[in-house]
Amino acid sequence: MNQINNGGNTPVSNQLKSDFMDSAHWDTLAERLMPYRMPDWDVPATVQDMGVWLDRLEINEKVYREAMNTSLHEWVDLNPTWPLRAFVGLLLEYKFTS
């Protein structure tokens, strides 16, 4: 099995999940809330890239940890097949509802 280093402690398969029920909603939120292009589905979530997106969306990491009840490393470990795009989608949902 091919593996990639995601910046966390656990390497993940390069078979990232892409069938999220909220993906169309995330695209709509992205168009409304940010000037950035969403990451591609084949881009793994790394702690470094997740931090970049927190900064882009002006979400403090402490606020993220309190809202999501997880650190970035923990999120990667809990969701090893989730791409960065899904993480950004969740951030957009949080931003839209807060």
Query: CA 61, CA 48: separation in Å to the nearest integer?
Result: 12
* Each residue's pLDDT tens digit, 22-33: 999 999 999 998
Put simply, whether the predicted model's pTM sits higher than 0.75 gets the answer: yes
* Each residue's pLDDT tens digit, 45-94: 999 999 999 999 999 999 999 999 999 999 999 999 999 999 999 999 99
